[in-house]
Amino acid sequence: SVKQEQVRCCHHQDYMITASKEKTRLTADLQRAISNHEFAVYYQPIIDLTNDTIAGAEALVRWHSPTRGLVSPLDFIPVAEDTGMIVDIGKQILLQACTDTKLQIDSGRWPTNFLLHVNMSVRELLHPGYISRVKEILAITQLPAANLTLEITESRLVSQPLLTNQLLGELRDLGIHIAIDDFGTGYSSLAYLTQLQFDALKIDRSFVSQMLDSENHAAIVAAIITMTAKFNADIVAEGVETAEQAAHLKQLGCRYAQGFYYSRPKPLAEWDIGNSA
């Protein structure tokens, strides 16, 4: 009935108003978080399956908000990307991660060939001056470019393929490595992959988690590993949660793995390199 339609319509509007009010609040809180440096970097080890040692770590942002508590990146990265605030947040994260890694290497806690992985949004990559900023951060922290891998999500690459690919090439010219994140979840074609500038692929967690229950998922994981080797790129399996998954990946020739089975992401103070792998 008309009455019902109106009610539904009003509920919908209420919902929209509430959602947009929350987005406005979140945007203001994030702006404050940037000025007050409320972001922390957690690190999750990346394991070399050929010798079961820690080869590197992925830096993952956490927001310690005075009013919201510990906020997951899943709850603010999308808004930060929408509003462009990801540019300032990403700058703080990269500076912190490079500073930490340089210190860990210099003090002998991490090896000199440690692989630091940092997430990069397409929005950041496309921001004018991004590459010179990355260069500047490496210069300030004195971290060699060879220690740094920037991870970019495959599904976000498709909008401006030529430009993003050119920018990825410029980063690689600096000696930085590029990893394609969440591989297998996007819609980019395999033909696109032949033209993409990258050094490593990260197999998405969804394939790894279903690998032992589904032959189709197992086949995809095996195919990605074989293909990546032919591309002369490194391979990292994400979301490894069990010994069985680790053993299977090893058997398939997967070089690197990451997941709760080895360690959750942790602040540096809680890292104990001797115990994690």
Distance in Å, CB of 72 to Ca ion, minimum: 12
Report which of 115, 201, 195, 116 is spatially closest to residue 163, judged by C-alpha positions. Answer: 195
Of 54, 77, 134, 237, which one interacts with ligand C2E (CB under 6 A)?
77
Of 38, 124, 151, 234, which one interacts with Ca ion (CB under 5 A)?
151
The residues pairing with 62 across neighbouring beta strands, listed in sequence order, are: 40
CA dist 130 and 88 (Å) reads: 11
Helix (H), strand (E) at residue 181: strand 177-183
Q: Are 99 and 148 in contact (CB under 8 A)?
A: no
Position 239 contacts ligand C2E (CB under 6 A): yes
Residue 93 site contact among Ca ion, ligand C2E, none (CB < 5 to 8 Å, cut-off depends on kind): ligand C2E
The residue with tokens 């086949």 is 219
Which of 111-132 are b and which e, b meaning 16 or more Cβ less than 10 Å from the residue's Cβ? Answer: eeebbbbbbbbbbbbebeebbe
The total of other beta-carbon atoms located within 10 Å of residue 180's CB is 25
**Binding segment for ligand C2E among 21-29, 137-145, 242-250, 252-260 (CB under 6 A)?**
252-260
CA dist 14 and 106 (Å) reads: 55
204 token code pair: 């998405």
CA dist 221 and 215 (Å) reads: 10
Q: Are 85 and 34 in contact (CB under 8 A)?
A: yes
Instruction: Please report, as residue ranges, which positions from 89 to 148 form the binding site for Ca ion (by CB under 5 A).
Output: 119
Position 70 contacts ligand C2E (CB under 6 A): no
Q: Are 85 and 30 in contact (CB under 8 A)?
A: yes
State the burial class of residue 67 (Cβ atoms within 10 Å of its Cβ: 0-12, 13-18, 19+). exposed
Residue 225 site contact among ligand C2E, Ca ion, none (CB < 5 to 8 Å, cut-off depends on kind): none
Distance in Å, CB of 5 to Ca ion, minimum: 39
Residue 154 site contact among Ca ion, ligand C2E, none (CB < 5 to 8 Å, cut-off depends on kind): none
CA dist 30 and 79 (Å) reads: 9
Residue 268: DSSP 8-state = G
Position 241 contacts ligand C2E (CB under 6 A): yes
Q: 2 vs 79, which CB is nearer to ligand C2E?
A: 79
Position 72 contacts ligand C2E (CB under 6 A): yes
Position 263 contacts ligand C2E (CB under 6 A): no
**Binding segment for ligand C2E among 19-27, 67-75, 162-170, 223-231 (CB under 6 A)?**
67-75
Instruction: Please report, as residue ranges, which positions from 88 to 127 form the binding site for ligand C2E (by CB under 6 A).
Output: 90, 93, 119, 121
Residue 201 site contact among Ca ion, ligand C2E, none (CB < 5 to 8 Å, cut-off depends on kind): none
Position 45 contacts ligand C2E (CB under 6 A): no
Position 200 contacts ligand C2E (CB under 6 A): no
Residue 234 site contact among Ca ion, ligand C2E, none (CB < 5 to 8 Å, cut-off depends on kind): none
Distance in Å, CB of 93 to ligand C2E, minimum: 4
**Where does this chain bind ligand C2E (CB under 6 A)?**
44, 60-61, 72-74, 77, 86, 90, 93, 119, 121, 181-182, 205, 239-241, 258-260, 265
